[in-house]
Amino acid sequence: MPNTSACSFRRLAPDDAEAFRDIRLEGLQRYPASFGASYDDERIQTLEWFRARIADHAVYGGFTSNGMLAGVAGLLVPPGAKMKHKGILWGMYVRPNARGTGLAAALLDCVLAHARGVVDEIKLEVAPDNRAAIGLYCAAGFVEYAREPRALKIDGTYHDSVFMTLRFEQPA
């Protein structure tokens, strides 16, 4: 189990595409109801597609002392002039052996620190039964603003989503 004081955090670069692909596919396969994307759709994507994802989004990673990518989270800023004030936190995933270590909170802090200089607010979507994630987001200041019934359909079963937001204070 990693100790966050022995971990490092940084924005991923295109050279991290293979490690990003591995952790992303792991999360999608193990926890399909926690992501809007599907394992089957992303496993067929090329490494170049994952490189582009890293280049087009602010994707942060938490690395253990031995260099293993143990957690990821991304910030998407919509390109449209009327929507680019609200970023979207996406793809937050921490490997099971790194959970409960503070790595998730530290990773989220990295994304939030970056976002404060880029957007006025961050939105996210989370499964209502993912209590650990909801607790993490609430501790960071996110608040629930909506629920969508039947947001996802996986193998014939519907799953709801909780929508949360965090507004950054604007300077006077």
pLDDT higher than threshold 50 for residue 42: yes
What was the pLDDT predicted at 171? 54
For residue 56, is pLDDT > 60?
yes
Map out the domains of the chain with their CATH numbers: 4-121 (3.40.630.30)
Instruction: With a cut of 70, say whether residue 3 has pLDDT above it.
Output: no
**How much is the pTM?**
0.92
Q: Are 70 and 8 in contact (CB under 8 A)?
A: no
Residues 6+ apart with CB under 8 A from 119: 75, 77, 84, 85, 86, 87, 168
Q: Please state which of the ranges 8-12, 63-67, 84-88, 167-171 shows the lowest mean pLDDT.
A: 167-171
Query: What is the average pLDDT score of the chain?
Result: 94
Q: Does residue 1 surpass a pLDDT of 50? A: no
Mean pLDDT to the nearest integer, 114-130: 96
Q: Which residues pair with 93 in a beta bridge?
A: 72
DSSP string, 26-61: HHHHH-GGG-SS-HHHHHTS-HHHHHHHHHHSEEEE
% pLDDT > 90, the chain? 90
Q: What is the 3-state secondary structure (H, E, C) of 67-123?
A: CCEEEEEEEECCCCCCCCCEEEEEEEEECHHHCCCCHHHHHHHHHHHHHHCCCCEEE
Residue 144: is its pLDDT beyond 50? yes
Is the predicted pLDDT of residue 32 greater than 80, yes or no?
yes
Q: What's the rounded Cα separation, in Å, for the pair 95 and 72? A: 9
Average pLDDT over residues 42-64: 96
Across the range 67-84, mean pLDDT stands at 95
